[in-house]
Structure 1
C-alpha cells in the first residue's frame, strides 16, 4: 500500500489529556501506523496549543476551555480541531482519510467531510447506552451523545468496533449495516506492564502485610465498571479468608463505594487510591495476586490485556468477552455471589494456576499492534478506493453530461 496521510481525531491520548482506555489505543495504534511508513497527524485536546512529533506521529494539541458540560466542551474542541486541521492541511497538503474515536470528534469529522468530501472511519470504543443504560432517563446530554454516535455511524464510510459484543450492541441500537462494520480488537505493547519487583515491598508501602493476597481493580469508578459489585463480593470473600482489595480510579461512584465499604464493615480491607500515575498502576499489576473486572458492560476490556501482560489471573464478569473460562481466567455472572466464588477459586489456587500465563501467550498472537495496524490499513484502503472510485464515476458523469450537451447543441444548430 502506498504511503497515506491520516488525520486521527480523539479527545484523549497518552501524550495529552488522558481520561481512559481510548488514550493508549489511539497513541499506540498511531505509533504502529507510523512504523509502517504512513504519515499520521493526531488532533487532540491539550493544556495549550502546540505541535510535537512523538514516535514519528505528528501531535496537534488544541487548548480547550473545560468549563461547562461535556457537550459544550466537545463543541469547543471540535471548533478548535477544525481550525487546526485547516492550518495543517494548508502546510502539509491533502489528507487521504480521517479516523475518529467515539462520539467526541463526530462534529468536526462531519464538517470536514462536508467541506472537502474527505471520508472518515469511526471507531466505537463504547456506547452511551452501554456506559449508563437507562439510568439517565430524560437527561438531554445523554440523548445528544447518543445522537452523535448515530450521526457518526451514519456519516462514516466504515465503522470499527473492538469486539463482537460491541458490534452487536451498535447494530442493535443504531442499525449500522454489516457492510460498514469491521471488528478489530484493542491491543497492547507486550512487556508494557510486566516488571521485576518485590510485591511485598509494594504492599508494605501501603500498610498491607506482605503475605496477604491482593485483589486489584483499576478503571473508572462508574456504574458501567461495577466497583460496587466487587465490594459486595469482597464482603463475602472476607468472611472466608483475609485479603486486601486495591481500587485504582476516579469517577462518580468513588465516594459512594467508599461509603459502601464502611457500611459493609470492610473499610480496613479496601484501599481506594483514586487516580494514580502509570508507575503506581504498573507496580500494583505486578504486586497483586489477581485482577478483577466486574463490569456490567464492557465493550472490550483493556485491563484484561494489562493483567495478562503481568501474567496475572483474571476474574471477570460475563460482560467481558476476552476471558476463556478456567483457561485464561474465571468468568462470573454480574452478581456479587458469583464474583465472590470466582475470587475464592483463584485465591485458593494461588501459585498453582497458569491462567495468567496462558493469557500472556495470547497477547503476541492476537493483540499486538502490528497486526492491528495492518487490519486498520485494510479499512483505510477500502475507504480510499471507494472514494477514488466515486470521484472517477463523477468525472465520467460530468464528461457524459458534456457530451450530451454537445450533441444537443449540434442538433439545435442543425435546425
Structure 2
C-alpha cells in the first residue's frame, strides 16, 4: 500500500485533552497508521507544546467559546491555521476528521481529499431527550453538513452507518464501515481479585459487577440501578462499582443509597484495569451504543459481558457464546446479570471466547489496512 501523509482533526487525544473513548480510538488509529509507514499529523486541543509521540506529530490549540458550538468553531479555526503551517512543501494526501467537532475545519478544507468518521451521532447520544435544545439542533446540523461535503464517510458499525444514512441522507456507496479496535495488552493484568474487592470494602468472594462510562441517559446507568435492586431481592449479595462522571450521578447515588453500589467517579487507567480484571461481570446497559469500546476492553481482560441488544453491541456479541444480550429494560438486565452470577463457569467461558473474537476481528493492524483502502478510494 502506498505511503500517505495524513492529517487528523479530532477534539481529543490520549496525551492532552481527553474526554471519552474517541481519544483512545483516534490515538491508536493514528499510531497504527505510522506503524504501517504512513505519516500522521494530529491536530487537537491541549495547553502543552507540540510534540511527537510514537511517530505521530501532535499540534495543539487552545479554543474558547461561550458554549460547545462556539468552542468547537474556535477550535476548528485554530486547527486550520496550524494545518496550513504544515501543508507545505508536500501537500497532505488525506484529511481525516472525527465526529462533528471539527466540521467547521472540514468546511474550510472541503476542496481536499476529506474523510469524516462518525463515532456516534447527536441523535444517538441524546435522542428525544434534547429535541428542543438549540445545541442539539446545531450539532445535528453540523453532522448533516459534514456528511454532505466530505468526500467519503466512515462509521464504526453497520448500525451507525444505517443511522447516519437515515438521519442525514448519506448515500450507501459513500460510507464504509471501519470498526474500532483495541490493544488487548492494555487491559489484561494479573490481579488479586479478593484484594481489589477488599480495598473497596467488599467481601472477597462476593461477585463484583462493573459499569464504566459516562453517567448519562444514553449509557443506561439508571437501568442498572433498577436491575440491581431486583437482583438483590432475589439472590445473595453482589457488589457493584460504577465508574465515571455525568449529570445523572447525584440522582443515582440517592436512588442507590440502600444498595451495594459504590460510585467511584473518574478513575485513572491503572485503576480501571485493576477493577476490570477483578470484576466477575461487566455490564453495558446502553440505550444507544454506536460501537461500545468497553466491550472490547472487557473481552481483552477475558470478562463476561451483559449488554443491551442495541447498535454495535448487538452486532458484535454472539448471544450465549461470548456474552449475554438483554432488552433495554431493568427486568431483562436483572435476568442477564443473575444468570451469569449463578453460572460463573459459563461467565468465564464467555469471557475467554470474547478474547478470541478480539484477536480475530478487532486488532488495529487489520482495521487500519482496511481504512487505507478507504483512503485509496478517496484520493483516486
Compute the TM-score of the two structures, normalised by the length of structure 1.
Answer: 0.89
SS at match of 1:272: strand
**C-alpha separation in 2, matches of 1:368 and 1:46:** 28
What is the match of residue 325 of structure 2? 331
- Which ranges of 4 or more aligned residues in structure 1 deviate by more than 2 Å? none
What is the match of residue 188 of structure 1? 182
**C-alpha separation in 2, matches of 1:133 and 1:155:** 24
**C-alpha separation in 1, matches of 2:324 and 2:30:** 33
Matched, 1:380 2:378: no
What is the match of residue 94 of structure 2? 97
1:205 is displaced (CA, Å) by 1.2
Matched, 1:111 2:99: no
SS at match of 1:123: strand
1:169 is displaced (CA, Å) by 0.8
**C-alpha separation in 2, matches of 1:257 and 1:13:** 29
SS at match of 1:202: helix
What is the match of residue 59 of structure 1? 58
What is the match of residue 9 of structure 1? 9
The runs of 5 or more residues in structure 1 that have no matched partner are 386-415
Confirm or deny: 8 A CA contact 2:223 2:285 kept in the other structure: yes
1:352 is displaced (CA, Å) by 4.3
**C-alpha separation in 1, matches of 2:211 and 2:296:** 14
Of 140, 144, 157, the match for 1:163 = 157
Matched, 1:232 2:223: no
Query: What's the RMSD between the two structures over aligned residues?
Result: 1.1
Q: Residue deviations 1:348-373, cap 9 Å, x none?
A: 01134400000000111100000010
What is the match of residue 248 of structure 1? 243
**C-alpha separation in 1, matches of 2:318 and 2:237:** 27
Aligned pairs for 1:168-317 within 5 A: 168-239=162-233, 240-262=235-257, 265-266=258-259, 269-317=260-308
**C-alpha separation in 1, matches of 2:62 and 2:53:** 18
Confirm or deny: 8 A CA contact 1:47 1:64 kept in the other structure: no
SS at match of 1:122: strand
1:217 is displaced (CA, Å) by 0.3
SS at match of 1:316: strand
**C-alpha separation in 1, matches of 2:26 and 2:335:** 36
Confirm or deny: 8 A CA contact 1:46 1:64 kept in the other structure: no
SS at match of 1:135: helix
Confirm or deny: 8 A CA contact 1:41 1:58 kept in the other structure: yes
**C-alpha separation in 2, matches of 1:224 and 1:151:** 24
**C-alpha separation in 2, matches of 1:352 and 1:118:** 51
What is the match of residue 73 of structure 2? 75
Confirm or deny: 8 A CA contact 2:184 2:301 kept in the other structure: no
Confirm or deny: 8 A CA contact 2:340 2:346 kept in the other structure: no
Mark the structure with the bigger radius of gyration. Answer: 1
SS at match of 2:345: coil
Q: 1:225 to 1:257 in 2, by over 3 A?
A: same
What is the match of residue 393 of structure 1? none
SS at match of 1:61: strand
Confirm or deny: 8 A CA contact 1:291 1:314 kept in the other structure: yes
1:302 is displaced (CA, Å) by 0.5
Confirm or deny: 8 A CA contact 1:5 1:39 kept in the other structure: yes
**C-alpha separation in 2, matches of 1:326 and 1:351:** 12
**C-alpha separation in 2, matches of 1:215 and 1:140:** 37
Confirm or deny: 8 A CA contact 1:227 1:294 kept in the other structure: yes
1:261 is displaced (CA, Å) by 1.1
The runs of 5 or more residues in structure 2 that have no matched partner are none
Matched, 1:40 2:23: no
